[in-house]
Structure formats: C-alpha cells, structure tokens
Amino acid sequence: MQIPRPLAVAVVSLLAFAARAEEPRPPLPRWAPSIEAGLADAKARGQAFMVALNMDNEAGNQRMLDEVYTSEEFRAASQKCVVAVASLFQHRLLPDAKSGARVCERFGSVTCEQHRAIEDVVRRQWLGRGPKDDVESPRHIFVAPNGKILFQRVWTIEKEDLAALMLRASELCTPERLERWDTLEGRLERAIDPIASVREIALGELIASDDPAVDGKLKETLKSVKDPRIVGSVLAAFAAAGTPERRAIAHDGLTHKDPVVRTMVIHAMGRSGAADHLPLLLARAGKEKETAPRASLYRALGVLGKDDEAAAKAVRKGLGDSDETARANAFAAAAPWAAEKAVKSAARKVLVEGGSQEIRGIAVWLLGLSGDAGLVKTLEEYKSSIGRWDWKLTRAVDAAIAKLSGKDVPNYETYAAWLVQDPALSIAR
C-alpha cells in the first residue's frame, strides 16, 4: 500500500521530531555554585563573572537554555568568563554525570538550592527588587572580580553576541581599567565602547553629572568616532538631559547623514518625554526619507504629541505610508487617536487588503483600543479567516475582542512592542 505523499511527509516529520526529542541535550557549562565562589574564581583567573538569570515556562528563557548555553560558542566563552545561573524555580534532582552528586535537572552541575540562593542575591542586592516583584529575564549581569557590576543585558541574545559580551567583560577587568572605572577618563573611554551595554551605563553617569565641561569633553570625544551606532548612542544620551540647552545637543542627530544616528536620536527623544523635542520632530516629519528613522519618528510623535493636532495629522498620514515597516510603526503610534473614524477605517482596510503578519497584528491591536464594541463581530469574522499557524495574529485578535468586550486584558497597551518593534531597538544593540 502506497502512503499518500502529504501523509508520508507528516509521518516522517513527526518521527524526526520524536527522534530529536529523545536526543540528549548538549552539555551545559559548569556553573559556579554561589556568588562568593564565582567571584573568588573570577579573581583567581583575572576574569569577569557573569550571572545568567533564567525562568521556567517562557519561550525566550527556554531558548537560551536549549540553544545558547549549550552551544560551543558559549562553552568556549565560559573558559574566559566565570558563569553562574540564577533561578527561583524548583526542579527535579538527578545524578551528575561527572561527580555523581544530585544536581538540578534543568541546569546541571548545581543544586536548586544553590541557583535559588544566587537568584535571591541578584533580586534583592543587585536589582533592588522584592520577593514578589517582577524581574525581567532572561538577563545577563556582568560583574568584576571585586563585585562591581560592569553592565547587563536584558532579554534574549544570540549565542555569538553573548559570547562577545562575556569576552568583552573580561577584557574590561584589567587592574588598570578597574582602577579608573569611576573616574571621568574611565567613563569617557567606556562611553564610546563597541558594546552598547557598556556605553549605556557610562553615558548615563556622564549625562547625570550635569557638567558643561563634561559635555564638552564628550562631544570632543565624538570627533574621532566613525561607528554610527556609537555616535547615535552619545547624541541620544543627551535627549534626556536635565535642561533644554543640554537636550538640544541631541538635535544635531536629527540631520546627521547616517540614518542609524537619526533613528537612535529620534527614538531617544520620544522616550525622554521632553516636550521641547516635539517641534523639531514635527519639522522632520515631512523630510525623512529613510524607513528606520521615519518609523521611529512616528513612534516618537505618538508619545510626545498625543495631545497635539499636528502630531496626530503626521501619524494619520503615516497610516498610509508606502513602506510597510514604517506604516506598521505608524499604527503602533496611533493609539492616542484609536477611537477616531479615520484611524479605525485605516485599520479595517488592512484587514481587508492583507499584508504581513506584523501590519495585520498591529491593525487588530489598534482596533482593540478604539472602544467600539461593534467591531467585535468584525474581528470574530476575521479570526475565522486566519491560518492555523498564524498564532501571533490569532492571539492579537483574541486580546482585541476581549478588550472591546469590556474584559480586563493586562498590559494590553504594551502588546504593540510585541507585535511591531521600533527599528531603533535592534540598532541600539
């Protein structure tokens, strides 16, 4: 009997999946059993100490465990950087392949008591969070042998990028660098570091000093920098400075020749909440030709201009942008005006005409904010047309229907970041 080809393919795929599921997981690194042991090892080896904060039952954290911490790149980097894992969850204990001691099934080499104790130190002492507070993870915290936190990176990260951070952290742990870490020279040096996480902390400290002399030195330092991501980081840092005069330094980035710089600066201006940025962003709205800065511009106008008719007009126009990425960000930015007839019409048009999952998902999300209960039937009918594998869009529709039906949908407003990412966020990292 000949098996029909579609069924045969399905059977083969299922068997391959089952075979993969039975394959043993590649080995994890040997984790430090405690903060104290990790710092002592880092001091003896002249390396940095990294703590990986991980949680159960979340896809990003699981991917870090399955694909990153088991990779050759991570294991190689762990020879140059001491590593520990932190988790508040309890798991089964199994015999360790090397020592025979009973260790955590999820992480190996350490017990649940040990990784829970590390999590407690990270939560309370390093992050200042309480036992019931949310802590964003996956998170990687890099620490000098003397216990000083160097920098950290939140959310998922590719294995090559994490390995690069681990190596860079250890490079920063020379006695000379650590000695001048908290000096002006040390901060200026790190403000143009190739690693964004390193730059971020140094720039924050420099901007917080509120010293014109420091501002001058920081601008002077930029003259020798060619990497647009570094230039963008420095100019963007001024967007949240304490005075209009200092914030105006960021405005130089609005007309920079490189779109990466413009994107980073526009994004920072929007996040700053400073109203004096709005006129300059509005002036730029009709001139920006590149996709990434234009997309970030819509997002910034949606934040700073939620009570401004000129900003509303610019965002409404963006709902018809010819570039789908820029257009999707305009829909994300249009939340303050979601109840307007023109905005609802633009979103419904997307449902009829189609497009990428991104543009359809954000259009559905925007309709969910409209307060128009009459759209529930429209969304229910639309849901029936969604492909079975289009789970992200299905979740967006379900959430929008619940919202319009008067149900409590926790964090609904933040769904936009999940559905459509501001291009500046991928550039900054």
Task: Give dist(CA 159, CA 233) in Å, integer.
Answer: 24
Q: Report d(CA 337, CA 333) in Å as an integer.
A: 9
Domain, as residue range, for 342:
338-429
Burial class (CB in 10 A: 0-12, 13-18, 19+), 211: middle
Residues 47, 390: Cα–Cα separation, whole Å: 45
208 part of a folded domain: no
Q: Six-digit token pair at 53?
A: 């904060």
Six token digits for residue 98: 């090397």
Say yes or no to pLDDT of 350 above 50. Answer: yes
* CA torsion angle 150 156 161 167 (round to 10): 30
- pLDDT reported for residue 23: 61
Containing 118, the helix (H) or strand (E) segment is helix 112-121
What's the pLDDT at 385? 92
Amino acid found at 122: V
- Residues 232-243 have a mean pLDDT of 95
Q: Cis peptide before 259, with omega less than 30 degrees from 0? A: no
Last residue of a domain, one of 176, 192, 215: 176
Q: What is the pLDDT of residues 53-67, one digit of tens each?
A: 999 999 999 999 999
* Angle in degrees, CA 414, 421, 135, rounded to 5: 50
CATH number for position 88: 3.40.30.10
Taking residues 141-151, report their average pLDDT. Answer: 97
Contact 242, 210 (CB under 8 A): yes
Over residues 321-326, the mean pLDDT reads 96
Portion of the chain with pLDDT greater than 90, in percent: 89
Among 244, 245, 236, smallest CA distance to 269 is for 236
Domain boundary among 158, 176, 194: 176
Instruction: Express each pLDDT in 246-275 by its tens digit.
Output: 999 999 999 999 999 999 999 999 999 999
pTM, whole model, 2 decimals?
0.87
Indicate whether 189 pLDDT > 90: yes
Is residue 9's pLDDT more than 80? Answer: no
The torsion of the CA quartet 12, 13, 16, 21, rounded to 10 degrees, works out to: -140
pLDDT score for 97? 81
Whether 424 is covered by a domain: the verdict is: yes
For residues 182 and 178, give the distance between their C-alpha atoms in angstroms, rounded to a whole number. Answer: 8
Instruction: Categorize the per-residue pLDDT at 427 as very low, low, confident or very high, splitting at 50, 70 and 90.
Output: confident
Q: Which residue has the tokens 């497009």?
A: 355
Is 13 among the domain residues? no
Q: How far apart are CA 414 and CA 396, in angstroms?
A: 12
Whether pLDDT at 1 is above 80 = no
Which three-class secondary structure state does DSSP give residue 112?
helix
Confidence of residue 426 (pLDDT cuts 50, 70, 90): confident
What is the average pLDDT value for the chain, to the nearest integer? 93
177 or 20, greater pLDDT: 177
User: Would 311 be classed as within a structural domain?
Assistant: no
Grade residue 77 by pLDDT with cuts at 50, 70 and 90: very high
Q: Reply yes or no on whether the pLDDT at 26 is more than 50.
A: yes
Q: Residue for token digits 């190689």? A: 76
Pairing of strands 93-95, 149-154: unpaired
- The answer to whether position 235 is within a domain reads no
Q: Which of 132, 154, 176 is the last residue of a domain?
A: 176
Q: What letters, b where the CB count within 10 A reaches 16 and e where it falls short, cover 192-208?
A: bbebbbbbbbbbebbbe
Residue 365 lies in a domain: yes
Q: How many domains does the chain have?
A: 2
Residue 19 pLDDT exceeds 50: no
The amino acid at residue 151 is F
Assigned domain for 187 exists: no
pLDDT given for residue 379 in this prediction: 97
* pLDDT given for residue 21 in this prediction: 46
**What mean pLDDT is predicted for residues 112-136?**
96
Q: Residue 111 domain-assigned?
A: yes
